[in-house]
Structure 1
Amino acid sequence: MNTVLHKADTRGNADHGWLKSRHTFSFANYHNPERMNFGVLRVLNDDQVSENQGFGTHPHRDMEIVSIPLEGDLKHKDNMGNETVIKQGDIQVMSAGTGVMHSEYNNNPDKAVKFLQIWVIPNKQNVQPRYDQITLDTEDRKNKLQQILSPNADDAGVWIHQNAWFNMTNLDQGKEITYNFNDSENNGVYAFVLKGDVTINGQKLNLRDGFGVWDTDKLDIKADSDTEILLMEVPMSL
């Protein structure tokens, strides 16, 4: 088993006033040659956008972009004709492919919106751009794993052009569960702690810590307090 630990306070930090962001991997003005990616997981940004502020229209291509709202509502608009609002419990995915233009704004007039922005390098280039979002029942992740993303359009959650699976779980203190890899030969799992404290394969983790594990076939997870975790299983080879 191989592991990498990224403590919360070692992440890159960007404060633009209207935007406060913590970068697990190199992004924008934060460059760390030892933090370029975890396999095909290229970006994990922990963003907070002030009320009535946001990202103006900007381009992407050849990237799978996943947004997971944590608090508040985020308004999305793109050149494919989509104009939507995503909120806690929703998962949004955009395959940039040959190129898209989009904007993201805080849809709340009186509070910040907090969300994760995740980029996964796709296994197919120049695909037709696509957008999707779904609303999940967060009770379905209470003391068990809830799949939110996979490579399969007919499976639970959203899908992307990559051999990747994302799961979320909310665990009560003392609860233990096991995550079994979908592809242990090629994939690793990056765990990101959204709430509380947890021990994964013997490693104690706290709020906003990240922990990558590969060359194994399962994760043994024990909640040291009430906790919420995002598990991202991705190929380790680019």
Structure 2
Amino acid sequence: MKYFRKATERGTVDLGWLKSQHSFSFGHYYDPAHMGISALRVINEDRVQPGQGFDTHGHRDMEIISYVISGALKHKDSQGNEFIVPAGEVQRMSAGSGIMHSEYNASDSEPVHFLQIWIQPKFRGITPSYEQMQVHQHGAMTPLVTPTGEPGTLSINQDARISRLQLKPGAQYKLTSAGTGYLHLVSGHAHSQELALNAGDAFATEKDETVTIYADSALEALWFELP
């Protein structure tokens, strides 16, 4: 295992309407020891108050994934996409040559809790694109995002895969990646080797390393297989 970070060590932002925890350097939070893992550049755990959100702003040459944990997001962009992304659905926006977008809490009464994930692209300057999908869980590990957009998954402009791991209490699962692996615990409690894992904790593995995770409660995690 080449990297481990506790949720409590993340950078924090509190703007009142937005409470965010940054796994890697982002915005005004700078930490040269945590600049990303392989092509994974950003994981922000955001909580946005009702009716609030991010005004229209621009991105380019970045693969941006929103993983909604609870509540719903309202997305609008300069490509004409305007969608609600409820909990359980996954959104992918390829900023490519440039795109403007806004992202708001879709509710006027309930907060929205989601992960904002940025992955550096394989090819720069591509035509911007957007996908959104509900992916039902099939077994412990279910692919959500794949390089070629395998059936039932979103595509991504990178040799990377994102899968959702769900385990019942007492279950275990072996994690192996042909490249760099990265696990982000969304909810629940677990342990692996000598590590105790809680929601927001994360670790990265070496190429071809196998790590077994043991669920101490019902858990949900995102597993990244990165170049």
* TM-score computed with the length of structure 2 as normaliser: 0.96
Identity %: 38
Please state if 1:227 is matched with 2:219. Answer: yes
Q: Structure 1, residues 74-127: CA drift from partner, whole Å, max 9, x if none?
A: 000001010000011101000100000000000111111010000000110000
Please state if 1:164 is matched with 2:163. Answer: no
Following TM superposition, by how much is the alpha carbon of 1:216 offset from its aligned partner in structure 2, in angstroms? 2.8
Assess if the C-alpha contact under 8 Å between 2:176 and 2:208 holds in 1.
Answer: no
Following TM superposition, by how much is the alpha carbon of 1:201 offset from its aligned partner in structure 2, in angstroms? 4.7
| Partner Cα distance (1:121, 1:17) in 2 | 30
| Partner Cα distance (2:125, 2:104) in 1 | 27
Name the structure 2 match of 1:180.
Answer: 176
Residues 1:54 and 1:13: Cα distance change in structure 2 (over 3 Å): same
Residues 1:82 and 1:121: Cα distance change in structure 2 (over 3 Å): same
Q: Which runs of 5+ in 1 are unaligned?
A: none
Residues 1:228 and 1:154: Cα distance change in structure 2 (over 3 Å): closer
Please state if 1:69 is matched with 2:68. Answer: yes
CA RMSD of aligned residues (A): 1.3
Letter in 2 for 1:154: E
Number of residue pairs matched by the alignment: 227
Q: Which runs of 5+ in 2 are unaligned?
A: none
Residues 186-201 of structure 1: matches in 2 within 5 Å?
187-201=179-193
**Following superposition, which runs of at least 4 residues in structure 1 exceed 3 angstroms of deviation?**
none
Residue 109 of structure 1: SS of its match in structure 2?
coil
Assess if the C-alpha contact under 8 Å between 2:54 and 2:103 holds in 1.
Answer: yes
Assess if the C-alpha contact under 8 Å between 2:66 and 2:91 holds in 1.
Answer: yes
Residue 8 of structure 2: SS of its match in structure 1?
helix
